[in-house]
């Protein structure tokens, strides 16, 4: 009953790994080296034809991709772990709203930041493309920040949920000491609260994600 997680250190796979750890679900990590473009090797494209990590193979052999779908599927399969508030509750609606916000409004920007050449109309506009993406990214981080309450560790206050895992990794991707301290200090605290949870700390360590 072991899951197989295709991941790389400090990638979106860290979100899935944290969720698996919180759920107490056994898994093994298969590293996919983004620095050597292994995500585009035929062996990996056979798993995810879109050439992105993470991918998760269930113990039954079903391949899951898209981090949001992976997390929601895991939550359904391990409901007893309580990683979302109860169905129909206002808290759950809020958790899902901001989970989707991070997945649709932030995560796609990462590709522009990491691979601006894929989006720039010409080679010499790569830096300008990336600079625009950074501004959009920061604006959206500020929106996340506006949803957090001082001295409350998580989005839902004291109640930890899947959205906190997603937000913690987004927070780390956006970490820049001076800017973060000034504009998103509560998001930074959320990262530390998530990373300090015993089950997550055990798998993230100081690298927050293997691979």
Q: Which of 8, 7, 26 is nearest to 199 (CA)?
A: 26
Among 19, 23, 53, 141, interactor with ligand GSH by CB under 6 A: 53
Q: Which of 146, 182, 151 is nearest to 167 (CA)?
A: 146
Among 9, 25, 34, 132, interactor with ligand GSH by CB under 6 A: 34
Pairing of strands 3-7, 27-31: parallel
Note whether 39 binds ligand GSH by CB under 6 A.
yes
Note whether 116 binds ligand GSH by CB under 6 A.
no
Do 162 and 20 form a contact (C-beta atoms < 8 A)?
no
Residue 130 and residue 173: Cα distance in Å, rounded?
Answer: 15
**Nearest approach, Cβ of residue 196 and ligand GSH (Å):** 23
Note whether 111 binds ligand GSH by CB under 6 A.
yes
Note whether 174 binds ligand GSH by CB under 6 A.
no
Torsion of CA 189, 26, 57, 35, to 10 degrees: 50
- What's 1's DSSP letter? -
Among 66, 75, 91, 105, interactor with ligand GSH by CB under 6 A: 66
Size of the residue set binding ligand GSH (CB under 6 A)? 14
Among 5, 6, 11, 106, interactor with ligand GSH by CB under 6 A: 11
Binding site for ligand GSH (CB under 6 A): 11-12, 34, 39, 51-53, 66-68, 107, 110-111, 115
């Amino acid at each position: 009953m072991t899951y197989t997680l295709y991941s790389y250190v400090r990638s979106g796979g860290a979100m899935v790994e944290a969720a698996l750890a919180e759920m107490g679900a056994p898994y093994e990590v298969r590293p996919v080296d983004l620095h050597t473009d292994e995500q585009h090797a035929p062996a990996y494209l056979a798993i995810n034809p879109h050439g992105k990590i993470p991918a998760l193979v269930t113990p039954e052999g079903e391949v899951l991709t898209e981090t949001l779908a992976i997390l929601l599927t895991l939550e359904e399969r391990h409901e007893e772990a309580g990683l979302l508030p109860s169905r129909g509750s206002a808290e759950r609606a809020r958790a899902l709203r901001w989970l989707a916000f991070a997945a649709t409004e932030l995560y796609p920007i990462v590709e522009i930041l990491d691979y601006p050449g894929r989006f720039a109309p010409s080679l010499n506009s790569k830096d300008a493309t990336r600079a625009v993406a950074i501004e959009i990214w920061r604006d959206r981080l500020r929106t996340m920040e506006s949803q957090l309450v001082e001295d409350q560790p998580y989005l839902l206050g004291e109640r930890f949920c899947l959205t906190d895992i997603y937000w913690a990794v987004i927070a780390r991707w956006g970490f820049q000491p001076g800017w973060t301290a000034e504009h998103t200090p509560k998001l930074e605290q959320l990262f530390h609260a998530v990373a300090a949870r015993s089950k997550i700390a055990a798998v993230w360590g100081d690298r927050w994600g293997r691979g």
